[in-house]
Amino acid sequence: MQEVRVGLLGFGTIGAGVVRVFQHNAPVMSDRLGATLKLVRIADLDITTDRGVEVEPGLLTTDADQVLTAPEVDVVIELVGGYEPARSFVLKAIEHGKHVVTANKALLAKYGDEILAAASKKGVEVMFEASVGGGIPILSAIKENLCVNRFRSIFGILNGTCNYILSRMTEEGAAFATVLRDAQQQGYAEADPTFDIEGVDTAHKLAILLTLCFGTQVDLEQIHLEGISQISAVDIQFARQFGYKIKLLAIGKEVDGEIEARVHPTMIPQNAPLADVDGVFNAVRLVGDFVGPVMLYGQGAGRDATASAVMGDVMAIARNLLKNAVGRTPARAHQEWAISRRPIRAMHEIVSRYYLRFTTVDRPGVVAQIARVLGNFGIGISSMMQPEGRHVDTVAIVIMTHEAREADIRSALAEIDLLEVVQEQSHFIRIENSIE
């Protein structure tokens, strides 16, 4: 039987998952490939820590070059993470004619153009299914089965840490800080969770999806980014009373020839399928012009689910190699020459519905003052609530708006915050009704 030889760079949690796939599912892979996939080398700076998997000692090395440049390696799996040295490793592997599989969304979001140009020049493949949505085969779906569609929109719950925190805040009415601390103690959140909770991880994944869906390059700085640290239990409660849940969404849309690229907490209807995605699970909903809405759901992180996606890419490359068909499916769903820089819609131009929460004194005429400012900016009120303020000096006034321009909402809130009756800076959360 023919052999395709694999070198693994980075022996952490996902690396151990990859080794487990080789150990447990070798017959499954050879039945489906018609050849043998063989793990020939594992490189990591630390080759002594127990990863919970048995490895022949001869496979392990601390020298990355033994994976990157060795003639006996056909496919390199990069699981080092981060920008450097991962970028240099991947470029070196390509230079030496290796095909590359990576789970590194940060690397792809920032250096995808450089890496794919190098790969194309060298005639090798770079695949990265595990970089978005862990085990969910969203990139393959866009590249393969859905490839005749023009995509209208894509919405993703792409960060398990944020989704776990928001789910628990919703179920328990707990405060953000309390749930985060608990999540860290239980190992669901990183010791430094900034990238996750501030939405950076989600933005990396969205940047990749936008290129695949809309054929556009997007710089990370062009993606509007808001995390979940400002979401309070009270907003979650009000959302529920109006029939909504709050989720951190990655949003990509094509509107009048421009691309919306944004990551922010979003109120979605409780009956929308995405609202049922709880805990550490991820999901992506996209709409194609022929296929209509499609939703994929699964484990967005974790050893085995991510290893499944990594090894699926290895199998795809091996299949191509065995048929001498390198480059059959473009890495970013489009021919590289068809990827351009499409205009990204400025955030103040977007149109959305909004949830507004004001903290005011409890006095006659307050609602009228707020409504007057909103009216002056052409913002229509769709629904309103003011819970009775008992034994307190301030009350919350909550307003759901009709569709409005973000610029008008921001201007109106700035004016309202100057009113003498308003006691705290006003809050707003965008509402998305198009995903029911």
The residue (of 195 and 377) whose beta carbon lies closer to ligand HSE is: 195
The residue (of 159 and 222) whose beta carbon lies closer to ligand HSE is: 159
- Is 161 a binding residue for ligand HSE by CB under 6 A? The answer is yes
- Is 426 a binding residue for ligand HSE by CB under 6 A? The answer is no
CA dist 102 and 385 (Å) reads: 49
CA dist 393 and 189 (Å) reads: 38
The residue (of 125 and 196) whose beta carbon lies closer to ligand HSE is: 196
Rounded to the nearest angstrom, the gap between the alpha carbon of residue 354 and the centroid of all alpha carbons in its chain is 23
- What minimum distance in Å lies between the beta carbon of 436 and ligand HSE? 25
Rounded to the nearest angstrom, the gap between the alpha carbon of residue 173 and the centroid of all alpha carbons in its chain is 25
- Is 160 a binding residue for ligand HSE by CB under 6 A? The answer is yes
Residues from 301 through 340 that contact ligand HSE (CB under 6 A):
301
- Is 300 a binding residue for ligand HSE by CB under 6 A? The answer is yes
Looking only at the bridges linking them, the beta strands covering 404-405 and 99-102 are unpaired
- Is 288 a binding residue for ligand HSE by CB under 6 A? The answer is no
Sign of the CA dihedral 408, 412, 224, 302? negative
- Is 7 a binding residue for ligand HSE by CB under 6 A? The answer is no
The residue (of 161 and 170) whose beta carbon lies closer to ligand HSE is: 161
- What minimum distance in Å lies between the beta carbon of 111 and ligand HSE? 17
* 205 part of the active site: yes
- Is 398 a binding residue for ligand HSE by CB under 6 A? The answer is no
The residue (of 199 and 288) whose beta carbon lies closer to ligand HSE is: 199
The residue (of 266 and 282) whose beta carbon lies closer to ligand HSE is: 282
- Is 250 a binding residue for ligand HSE by CB under 6 A? The answer is no
Sign of the CA dihedral 9, 14, 17, 22? negative
Candidates 105, 122, 205, 245; catalytic one: 205
Place of tokens 């490359």: 317
- What minimum distance in Å lies between the beta carbon of 383 and ligand HSE? 33
CA dist 331 and 422 (Å) reads: 52
Task: Tell me how far CA of residue 200 lies from CA of 7, 64, 278, in angstroms.
Answer: 29, 28, 20
- What minimum distance in Å lies between the beta carbon of 304 and ligand HSE? 14
Site residue total, ligand HSE (CB under 6 A): 7
Residues from 188 through 217 that contact ligand HSE (CB under 6 A):
196, 201
Per-residue contact flags (x/-) with ligand HSE for residues 112 to 151, judged by CB under 6 A: ----------------------------------------
- Is 159 a binding residue for ligand HSE by CB under 6 A? The answer is yes
Stretch that binds ligand HSE, among 38-46, 86-94, 153-161, 344-352 (CB under 6 A): 153-161
The residue (of 295 and 419) whose beta carbon lies closer to ligand HSE is: 295
What the block records as the tokens of 106 is 């940060």
The residue (of 89 and 164) whose beta carbon lies closer to ligand HSE is: 164
- What minimum distance in Å lies between the beta carbon of 211 and ligand HSE? 18
Stretch that binds ligand HSE, among 32-40, 119-127, 156-164, 349-357 (CB under 6 A): 156-164
Stretch that binds ligand HSE, among 49-57, 157-165, 252-260, 376-384 (CB under 6 A): 157-165
Q: Which residues bind ligand HSE (CB under 6 A)?
A: 159-161, 196, 201, 300-301
Known catalytic residues are 205
